[in-house]
Amino acid sequence: MEFIDISTLNITTELDILKRDTQRYSSFLYQHKGVFFADNTRIGNNDSDEAKIKFINVLTKAKEENISLVLSPEYSCPKPVIDEIIAKPELQPSQQKLWALGGESLNKVELNYFKNLQNPNIHIQFEDCFAISDKNYVDPLYYIFKGKHNGVDKLIILIQFKTRHMGGLWNSQIEPENLIEGETIYIIKNNDYSVRLMSFICSEAMNFTALYEHELIQNHRWLDSPYLIFNIQFNPNPSHSNFIAFKQFTLSKDRRELIALNWGLYTTIFGKGPLFRENNAPRSGIYFRTTDIELDYTRTKIIANHKKGLYFLQIKREKRVYFLNREAELFKIHNKSVHITEGTDEQKRREGPICSNLYKIDFENNVVEINYDISDNHIEFWENRGISNKYLLDSSKSFIDKEILLNISTGKVKAREGNKWSDIINLNSFTLNESDECNKRLTYLEDTYTESETVRSINCSSITELDNNILPNNSLYPHSLKRLKYKDLQLAFSNDASDYYYRYNVVNDNAEIQKATICYLSYASDSDIEKTYDELQKLFEKGTDGIDTIVVYYKRGNSILNKSNPDAGDITKIPTNHNSITD
């Protein structure tokens, strides 16, 4: 693996996505899907003619809307699309725009065709790794953009070849036995101070070692330059430990952003079955770094993206990800530069990406905008798991409020955040485990990884226990809640729950707030029970009533027990001072 700066190839350009100004650039992320074909002669779409029509329509739409970046996954774009781009200027990206297209395999005849193509307006560049190879084809990534070669304006087609074959997919050795491996990773930049772009084709990410990082540091300003990184994939297991390690590496330093783009759900492999039959998730996403101050995690932003199939999670503080809906095909994304040097501090804020439009490819292969909210299917999931909680099954309730209810009802709160404990960036369920990408949300359910499923099962069991066995049984209420014994209590937030910072999670049969905070921990250890009780107490100011109405339920054998304040008075009135939670 060798890193080549395009300036050493006498290629220059000026691309929107590599500028460091304050304005957002637009991109089309094309999560191509279909029937995948692979044998000893080629890898790509089973129906390349149909795929060609889809790509032509996507690029036509991109050209009409002046999209700055079009990105497609590995092995998705047929060579005839590139031929059309070469022949038809109306399909070529405009100045400052980039088409980055993962292509179907190219055999030696097709490579020689590109090598010998004579067109004074076009410069095609790729390494000669095939002339003496005994293998059959390369796995190409096409960078297509307007630029200069040797100082002359050209359409540049820079073709990067995959440098490391994938593992034997379901014991198939087709790619290992047939792939002509390249050696070059191109680094594209506007100038020495711009953002730099480089891409890794699927399994290349698994082979990135400290040796390569040393070369980047020595020769390509890895430590002090911002980098935008693409990882295009045809990948049945995008959360494999090696891919997670690559994501950790790319986000280990500031001024980094990674776009991982896989084939979409319902992709099948010809003669074999579904691509995602094990984990059910392409895990296409935008991984980025930004501070809490700069990140826009307002409800308006998070909900708007969610409705467009862009799902927020954070890995650690300052490391974030928006996953793409696994079924949607084309996302129009607006995002700011990886690192901004122009403008005022307010203008430099990197708030995170916005999805403004969502498209599908219809039965006639046309690009059609989706004008309705994308369902996250969380209500269907809960019904399937036997959840009967009316609040959680109410489609009119915010998915964010449901996640908050889940967090406090299972004792997962960060009391040190005070009144902001319920902010999205402080919620346990919005945190993606960095080590295994375990997704703890119950309103984003697209993966079926074992770790994620385990957390979901535990949370569903806890909610069911509270709903079906604890709240209906007033004999389990401690002394501090004795007056609530004669009320029909439900696990829910009242409409004014935010006024009380979501500290109370039970209501009466009129959906009115009841001043009590309960959670269930199942067979937790004594120390975890004590710790959870203490954390919930810290949500309230000392000496205020809320401290006395906290109940932590748990199990010992078949018995449901609780941790509460046995000396608490009988306090059940609704507080009137919302700031202090006192009467």
Residues 160 and 137: their CA atoms lie apart, in Å, by 13
> 541 is written with which tokens?
């100011």
CB 329 within 8 A of CB 31: yes
Return phi, psi of residue 61, to 5°: -65, -40
DSSP structure class, residue 43: E
Ordered by start, the domain boundaries in the chain are 2-369, 378-563
| Cβ burial 374-406 (10 Å sphere, 16+ → b, else e) | bebebbeebeeeebebebbeeeebebbbbbbbb
**Is it the case that residue 572 has pLDDT exceeding 70?**
no
Residue 343: DSSP 8-state:
S
Is residue 455 within a helix (H) or strand (E), and if so which, with residue range? helix 450-464
Q: 105: which strand partners?
A: none
Cβ proximity of 279 and 91 under 8 Å = no
What's the pLDDT score for residue 400?
A: 98
Residue 283 is inside which H or E element, if any? none
pLDDT tens, position by position, 439-478: 999 999 999 899 999 999 999 999 999 999 999 999 999 9
Q: What is the mean pLDDT of residues 409-418?
A: 94
| Res 209 pLDDT > 90 | no
- Residue 562: pLDDT over 60: yes
pLDDT one-digit tens code per residue, 495-525: 999 999 999 999 999 999 999 999 999 999 9
pLDDT tens-digit map of 39-71: 999 999 999 999 999 999 999 999 999 999 999
Q: How far apart are CA 60 and CA 64, in angstroms?
A: 6
pLDDT at residue 1, as a whole number = 85
pLDDT of 428: 95
pLDDT for position 330: 98
pLDDT at 277: 84
Q: Would you place residue 577 in the very low, low, confident or very high pLDDT band (cuts 50, 70, 90)?
A: very low
- pLDDT score of 97: 98
Q: CA geometry: angle at 179 spanning 177 and 183, to 5°?
A: 130
Domain 2-369: CATH superfamily, name plus number: Carbon-nitrogen hydrolase (3.60.110.10)
Q: Residue 161: enclosing H or E segment and its boundaries?
A: strand 152-161
When the pLDDT of each residue in the chain is averaged and rounded to a whole number, the result is: 93
Largest CA distance in the chain: 89
- In 3D, which of 447, 458, 452 has the Cα closest to residue 406? 458
Q: DSSP 3-state assignment of 225? A: coil
d(CA 256, CA 252): 8
3-state secondary structure of 414: coil
What's the whole-number mean pLDDT along residues 83-90?
96
Number of residues in the chain: 583
Q: Is there a contact between 548 and 480 (Cβ–Cβ < 8 Å)?
A: yes
Ranges of H-type helices in 179-336: 210-219, 241-250, 299-307
Can you give the pTM of this predicted structure?
Answer: 0.94
Among 578, 577, 517, residue whose Cα is nearest residue 553: 517
Measured on CA atoms in the order 478, 483, 484, 486, is the torsion positive or negative?
positive
Q: What is the pLDDT of residue 171?
A: 57
Token digits of residue 310: 């862009």
User: How buried is 193 (Cβ within 10 angstroms: 0-12 exposed, 13-18 middle, 19+ buried)?
Assistant: exposed
| Tokens coding 512 | 């009115």
- For residue 547, give both structure tokens: 């401290």
